[in-house]
Amino acid sequence: MQSQYEPKKTEEKWYSFWQEKSLFDAKINPKKKPYCIVIPPPNITGILHMGHALNNTIQDVLIRYKRMKGYESLWMPGTDHAGIATQNVVERSLAQEGLRKEDIGRDKFLERLWGWTDEYGSTIINQLKKLGTSCDFKRTRFTMDEGYSEAVKEVFVRLYEKGLIYKGNYIINWCPRCKTALADEEAPHKEIDGWLYYIKYPVKAQGRPVKPPRGQAASKVTKSPVPDYIVVATTRPETMLGDTAVAINPKDKRYKFLKNCEVTLPIIERNLKVVEDNMVEVSFGTGVVKVTPAHDKNDYLMARKHDLEFVNIMRDDAVLNENAAEFAGMDRFEGRQALLEVLQAKGLLDKKEPYKLSAGHCYRCHTIIEPRLSTQWFVRMKPLAKPAIKAVRDNKVRFYPQRWRKVYLNWMQNIEDWCISRQIWWGHRLPVYYCNNCLGQTGSKSQIPKGNKKGVIVSGIRPEKCPECGSKKLVQEEDVLDTWFSSWLWPFATFGWPFNESQSHPVKPPQGQAASKVTKSQDIKRQREEFNYFYPTDVLVTASEILFFWVARMIMAGLQFIGKVPFKDVLIHGTVRDIRGVKMSKSLGNVIDPLEIIDKFGADALRFSLMLLVSSGQDAYLSEEKFLVGRNFANKLWNATRYILSRVPRTACRVPRLNRKDLSLADKWILSELNILIKETTSNFEKFRMDEVAKSIYDFFWHKLCDWYIEISKVEKDKNKENLLIFVLDTVLRLLHPVMPFITEEVWQKINSSKKQGSLMVSEWPAGLKIKALKSEIDSFLALKELIISLRSFKKDLGLYERIEMMVGSGDKRRSRVLKDNLEWVSFLARANIVIGKTSCKESISTANKDFDISLSREFIKDADIHKRKIEKKIEELSGVITSQKNKLSNSSFVKKAPQEVVSGVREKVKVCLDERERLKRIRWS
């Protein structure tokens, strides 16, 4: 074994070993309880980033832990077709050839997409393997798999038949670059710097003159004169071209006169209606709102209420259309500038003020979205949300950390309908067919009124003819479904749901299994049984970013289609950020590539460091050097193993049974510490506290096993020691394996070399130890440990580095005896030749700790100043403690009200401190 651990030499070896032995595979096992996690399917366009590394490490750690704990662990892997993202990638490559997707047509474009998917779609899955992920890869699913598509269609049809899917003309988020509708969640609002423009709209008194008849009080006349114009404020001036009204608040007295006026839209010269609506905020802008029903969500709602005209002024690429008069053909922002110039020239631009506004941005390409009136498909969400709210309220689904529960409930209670149609080509095409014959009579298919099903056929299988008129002229809906409309089925569609015998494409059997040997119905039966065994899954591990996109919708889908929640626990971890706290992103260039870290430090180092850093849902601030902890720990483990193996002959190397007999004080101590570690680690895993798991193993291994026990073992070379060293190491390897699978397997194989080859990853999780140490024994050991530290410190303060003779005594007989029994290793570790007994002050210089008095011959001392100051400081410190503790005791309500054990604890503390201080005070310096 080399003195430095080299991860590259072991990682690949053991990963293929596990795969060859099919250790990642899961199947129904009636003797075991199931444990199942479905992977949040990464986009096929994705490449592994630190967020994936974190997310998947957590899952792998849990899966491996439960597997060792005796569960049948299934980690279901797969990828997501990521509609818009993937289409964008392929469009870009097309653009390099100077082509647009329209040039080659839908079929050819889809061919390209499938080609890309076949070539690059599994990149991320292969990268995941480098992390050590123990997914059952034979089950790898893709949201566009034939079988999966059946589930998507089934769900669409079921929802449609229940009246939960409808088609309607609404204002939706439109990305003019991707040229598709987006759901609200896909268009996050971001603040941008803009301007608030104040524009004058000419006003004319209507019909009868407003002028009052002669003789009436003049004051009343001057109260509401009709001005030449009113001023509206807007951040998007170009939309004025689509204005069909202006609105005021009914309570706003300032504009009462407008009811009898004609307002004209400049440039277009259109008459605008004047409407009153409470939605108008009196205090904002001028109190008058321009209403653009086809380009703003609020205006749209207002228009519906007041029966206004809709004027669309933009094409799908946000270029102004023929309704935009002279500005037609200009891009929206170009048009804005041009329009402003015209307004300026005409004296209609009152003023402009800098203004921060928040606008939706496409979550794929970051283009500012344009609210657009268009016909889309929607899912009615309220009925789906209701049971999903109840399930969380009833703790059928629990969130970790719990605060996300509130966020979830808040969102669900205010949920709006989900726009699911997308005007792209890559995705599941809606299982909707139009009969041209029937629709010919009612008009174009974009104007199907809500609820009118005539000529619209929704079916999982393409119908041959129209059930209404028999026509064979059927056309399938061009739109595809939102990617999340397939992802929300992930926890059950991956198992082959809906298990229809009649479905055209059953889920393909696991790779390697001959398809012909398995009949379709057997296959479906197997899938159904597996589903019943593994569903509901156990935990979903995810970042908070997709709580609404995905997690909430999965809960709704699970309850709606299966009648059971899809998972019991939702573990939400933090976001990965750079060292300054900025979210890592490729465009910012602040990413740390996990593959590079693996290359430099090893996958185990990456995993261990990540686990250490993500404490209960907090964001992790990363830099390359933070991974050194993991690397160093791996190296420590490696070298400790090297030492232990040097002590134990290889041929005899196997994990022993422990014998209660002949255990030394140190043995008892380390076993008792190990026992605590087993308990803590197990309970921390159950609480999803992977940071605590990593921390406590690290602490035990490094600072208890290596710093003390192994050091002691260099002196205390009894027969038991070898067995114990192997035993403790073996136990730690088991505990650590979920977090650091590679090095633990490598080491475990070495210390189990005499056994026939098994694998650590499927060996048993450590149970609590039966051997118990007495409290007094542990106490004695700790006193010796403290003594060693005091001896070292004492020497150090006196500037002594040689192995010298030191005198140690104790007033306590038991302490003296224990010291005598363990003198050899105490001396070794203290680097001193210890003599038990007392010496006179004249010849020696002394110190004391809680249990022992220490002194050494004056002949060694050159300079005792540091030591003297330290003693003084220590005395001061002790006095402080004594005073504060005594104060407590003199407080009668403390003695009365505090628990007995606390009071006696304080008394004990005072006693001990007094004693130590007394002994320190006795030290004479000359």
Partner RNA sequence: GGGCGUAUAGCUCAGAUGGUUAGAGCGCUGCGCUCACAUCGCAGAGGUCUCUGGUUCGAAUCCAGAUACGCCCACCA
Give residues 758-817 in contact with RNA (rule: CB under 7 A): 788-789, 792-793, 796-797, 801
Q: How far is the CB of 663 from RNA (least distance, A)?
A: 21
State the minimum distance, in angstroms, from the CB of residue 354 to RNA: 13
Question: Which 112-171 positions form the footprint of RNA (CB under 7 A)?
Answer: none
Q: Measured from the CB atom, is 77 or 242 closer to RNA? A: 242
Backbone angles phi, psi at 122, to 5 degrees: -100, 5
Site for RNA in 484-523 (CB under 7 A): none
The answer to whether residue 313 forms part of the interface with RNA (CB under 7 A) is no
Max distance between CA atoms of the chain, in angstroms, equals: 124
Of 380, 894, 914, 919, which one interacts with RNA (CB under 7 A)?
Answer: 894
Separation of alpha carbons 472 and 449, rounded Å: 23
Q: How many CB atoms lie within 10 A of CB 815?
A: 20
Distance of closest approach, residue 148 Cβ to RNA, in angstroms: 27
| Tokens found for residue 325 | 């008069």
Cβ-in-10-Å burial (0-12, 13-18, 19+) of 338 comes to: middle
Least spacing, CB of residue 843 vs RNA, in Å: 24
Q: Does 891 help bind RNA (rule: CB under 7 A)?
A: yes
User: Do 858 and 844 form a contact (C-beta atoms < 8 A)?
Assistant: yes
C-beta separation of 151 from 491 below 8 A = no
- As measured in angstroms, the least distance from the Cβ of 710 to RNA is 4
Q: Which residue in the set 44, 89, 280, 551 belongs to the binding site for RNA (CB under 7 A)?
A: 280
Letters for 354-393 (x = contact with RNA by CB under 7 A, - = none) are ---xx-----------------------------------
- How much is the CA Rg of the chain, to the nearest whole Å? 38
Task: Decide if residue 692 touches RNA (CB under 7 A).
Answer: yes
Q: Output the CA angle 713-714-718, nearest 5 degrees.
A: 55
CA distance 834 to 520: 81
Residue numbers 77-116 binding RNA by CB under 7 A: none
Site for RNA in 32-71 (CB under 7 A): none
> Is residue 5 close enough to count as binding RNA by CB under 7 A?
yes
User: Site map for RNA, 645-684, x if CB under 7 A?
Assistant: -x--------------------------------------
Nearer to RNA, 507 or 712 (CB): 712
Would you state the structure tokens that stand for residue 479, as one six-digit string?
């739109």
By CB under 7 A, what part of segment 813-852 binds RNA?
831
DSSP string, 98-141: T--HHHHHHHHHHHHHHHHHHHHTTHHHHHHHHHT----GGG-E
Cis peptide before 176 (omega within 30 of 0): no
Paired with 72 in beta bridges are 34
Site membership for RNA, residue 880 (CB under 7 A): yes
Q: Are 572 and 542 in contact (CB under 8 A)?
A: yes
CA 669 to chain centre: 39
CA distances from 698 to 11, 98, 125, 612, 740 (A): 21, 57, 30, 10, 12
Q: Is 864 in the site for RNA (CB under 7 A)?
A: no
Q: How many residues interact with RNA (rule CB under 7 A)?
A: 90
Question: Would you count residue 875 as binding RNA (CB under 7 A)?
Answer: no
Rank residues 581 and 649 by Cβ distance to RNA and give the closer one.
581
Q: Which of residues 710-769 bind RNA (CB under 7 A)?
A: 710-711, 714
Distances (CA, A) of 825 to 618, 722, 820: 44, 16, 11
Q: How far apart are CA 861 and CA 856, in angstroms?
A: 9
Joined tokens for residue 114: 């499938």
Contacting residues for 216 by C-beta, under 8 A, at least 6 apart: none
Q: Which of 702, 759, 778, 914 binds RNA (CB under 7 A)?
A: 702
Question: Is 493 or 845 the residue whose CB approaches RNA more closely?
Answer: 845
Convert 525-549 into a string of H (helix), E (strand) and C (coil).
HHHHHHHHHHCCEEEEEEEHHHHHH
Site for RNA in 173-202 (CB under 7 A): 184-185, 188-189
The separation between CA 151 and the C-alpha centre of its own chain, rounded to angstroms, equals: 27
Nearer to RNA, 527 or 822 (CB): 822
- Gap between the Cα atoms of 472 and 434, Å rounded: 10
Instruction: Considering the complex, state which of residue 386 and residue 831 has its C-beta at the smaller distance from RNA.
Output: 831
Nearest approach in angstroms of CB 499 to RNA is 35
> Closest approach of Cβ 786 to RNA, in Å?
10
Nearer to RNA, 219 or 410 (CB): 410
Of the candidate spans 26-34, 50-58, 406-414, 665-673, the one that interacts with RNA by CB under 7 A turns out to be 406-414
Member of 100, 393, 462, 703 binding RNA (CB under 7 A) = 703
Binding to RNA by residue 413, rule CB under 7 A?
no
Q: Which two tokens stand for residue 517?
A: 């040997």
| Segment contacting RNA by CB under 7 A, of 45-53, 746-754, 764-772, 876-884 | 876-884
Residues 526-545 that bind RNA (CB under 7 A): 544
Residue 170, number of CB atoms within 10 A of its CB = 19
- Residue 893 interacting with RNA (CB under 7 A): yes
Q: Pick from 98, 209, 347, 899 the residue near RNA by CB under 7 A.
A: 899
Please give the Cα distance from 366 to 360 (Å, whole number).
Answer: 9
Compare residues 281 and 718 and give the one whose CB is closer to RNA: 281
Q: Which of 146, 353, 707, 865 binds RNA (CB under 7 A)?
A: 707
Please tell me the distance from the alpha carbon of residue 815 to that of residue 783, in angstroms, as a whole number: 8
Return the number of the residue (323 or 639) whose C-beta is nearest RNA: 639
In the stretch 238-277, what mask flags binding to RNA with x, by CB under 7 A? ----------------------------------------
Q: Which of 219, 222, 410, 441 forms a contact with RNA (CB under 7 A)? A: 410
Interacting positions 610-649 with RNA (CB under 7 A): 613, 615-616, 618-621, 625, 628-629, 631-632, 634-636, 639-640, 642-643, 646
Give whichever of 872 and 877 is closer to RNA, judged by the CB atom. Answer: 877
Sign of CA dihedral 441, 444, 445, 447: negative
Closest C-alpha among 48, 53, 60 to residue 23: 60
Candidates 65-73, 288-296, 373-381, 728-736; binding stretch for RNA (CB under 7 A): 288-296
Which segment (86-94, 433-441, 608-616, 728-736) binds RNA by CB under 7 A? 608-616
Window 579-598: residues binding RNA (CB under 7 A): 579, 581
Region of residue 824 (phi > 0: left; psi between -120 and 50: alpha; otherwise: beta): alpha
